[in-house]
Amino acid sequence: MPARCVVLTLGRLPVALDLARSFAGLGYRVVVAEPLSMHLCGMSRAVARSVRVSDPQQDADAYLDDLERVVRDEGAELVVPVSEETPRVAALKARLPEDIRVFSATQDEVLALHDKYRFAETARRLGLDAPASRLPDAADELDAADGYVIKPRYSCSGRDVRVQEKPTGARSGEFVQARVVGEEVSGFAIALDGRVLVCSTYRAAVTSGSVAVCFDGTEPVPAAERWIQAFVAATGHTGFVAFDFIVDDAGRCWALECNPRATSGLHFVAESDLAKLITGAADSATAKRGKLTESWSCFTALLGSLPDRRRFGRILEELRHARDVSWRASDPWPFLLMPINTAPLLARALLARETVAAVAMRDLEWREAPSALS
C-alpha cells in the first residue's frame, strides 16, 4: 500500500523543515512545492520530492495551477500551507475535491486576518484588547498618549512601520494605530474549527533587522494565551495562526497584528506532535519551553554587531544557551549545507543589500487588498 502523501507549499524556512520531518515520522510521503530551485527542505531526508512551481508575484494564476497539478499528480490527501503563501494556497480549498484537505481557513477568512486594520477592528468588535485604529481619512479621531504607529495593511517582516508623535502622513494602503507601550510578546497556535490544539508564547531574544532569529520561550505568558484562546474560539479558525502582542504595565495584553501562518512559535511544538495535531491523530499538545535559535541567521547578526561590544556579547551569550531549530544528527544536511541550499535567497539579499530575512518572502507575500475588500 503506497504511503499517504502530504504537500507542503513552502520549503525555504526552518518551520517547513519541522513539518516535513514530523510528517515523515508519521509515515507520510512528503512533497514540497516551492518557487525556489534550491531550498532548505530540499536536502532533508524527510522530503521525498521537491517540485518547483511558478512565482506567485509574477503569475498568481499559474502558481495556483501548478500547486493543484502537484497535489493531483502526487495523489496527496493533505495540503499544508506554511508561511506568507497561505492566503494564496487557501484558494485551493475551492479547487480540490473534498477528500483532499487543505489545512487552512477559507481565503476570505485568511485575508481578513492578514489585513492588519480589519484584524484590529475584528478583535475590538469581539471585546478583545487591540489598539484603536483608523484609516488615513479618519486618523485625526485618534487620541493616543504614547504616539502613533503607521503601518501597511498588507505586509510582513515589520516593513515600512513608522512610529510618530502625530497621526499624520499615512498613505493609501496604510492605517494609523494608537501606540501601546510595554513588553513585546509573540504567540502561536495550531487551531481546528475554533479550538486551540497547542499554543506557545515567546519573546525575541535576538533580531536581524525586524525579524527574530533567536527566541526565548522560557516563561509562559498566560494573558497572551487567554487572548489567543478567546479569538480562535470566536472566529472558528482552522490552521496556523500567530499574533504580535504588547503587554502593558497593568498586565493587559494588546494584540497589534495577526499572522495567519506558521511562525517561529511552531518550533516550540514537539516535532512528533505537529503532524499528529494537523491530521487529527492527536487532539492536543503542550508547548515546549527553552531558548531556540536559527544559528546561521543569528551568527550573521553576531558578525553585524562587532562594532558594538555590548550587543556582540549579548548575542554571543544567547547563542551559547539556545538550541538550533534545524540541526538533527539523523538529518544533518539542511543545517550543515544551509549556505548552499539558501543560495537563491542569499543572492537576492546581496542584490537588494538587505538581510536574508527581509527578502525571504518577497515573492510570496500578499501585498494588495483584494478589490472586494479594499
Tens-of-pLDDT digits for all 374 residues of the chain? 678 999 999 999 999 999 999 999 999 999 999 999 999 999 999 999 999 999 999 999 999 999 999 999 999 999 999 999 999 999 999 999 999 999 999 999 999 999 999 999 999 999 999 999 999 999 999 999 899 999 999 987 667 899 999 999 999 999 999 999 999 999 999 999 999 999 999 999 998 877 899 999 999 999 999 999 999 999 999 999 999 999 999 999 999 999 999 999 999 999 999 999 999 999 999 999 999 999 998 988 898 899 999 999 999 999 999 999 999 999 999 999 998 988 888 888 888 888 777 788 888 989 876 654 33
Same-domain check for residues 191 and 172: no
Residue 360 belongs to a domain: no
DSSP-based three-state secondary structure for 222: helix
Looking at the structure, tell me whether residues 213 and 274 fall in a common domain: yes
The residues, any chain, with a CB within 8 Å of residue 325's CB and separated by 6 or more, are 14, 18, 264, 267, 292, 293, 294
- My answer on whether 251 and 303 are in the same domain is yes
The whole domain housing 165 covers 132-178
Tracing cell 512528503 back to the chain, one arrives at: 30
Structural domain count of the chain: 2
Whichever domain contains 276, its CATH number is 3.30.470.20
For the residues of 177-207, what is the DSSP string, one character each? EE---SEEEEEEEEEETTEEEEEEEEEEEEE
Q: Tell me: do 197 and 231 sit in the same domain.
A: yes
Closest CA to 198 of 183, 218, 220: 220
| Burial profile 217-241: b = 16 or more Cβ within 10 angstroms, e = fewer | beeebebbbebbbebbeebebbbbb
In a domain, 271, yes or no: yes
Q: Considering 178, 211, 242, which residue would you say is the last residue of a domain?
A: 178
Would you say residue 153 lies in a domain?
Answer: yes
Distance CA 215, CA 260 (A): 19
C-alpha pair distances (Å), 43 with each of 17, 142, 335, 364 = 10, 51, 9, 21
- Check whether residue 266 and residue 196 sit in a common domain: yes
Q: Residue 234: enclosing H or E segment and its boundaries?
A: helix 222-235
pTM value surpassing 0.75: yes
**What is Dmax (Cα atoms) for the chain?**
65
Cell digits of residue 202: 515567546
Same domain, 153 and 192: no
Which residue, among 114, 69, 127, 70, has the nearest Cα to 88 in the 3D structure?
114
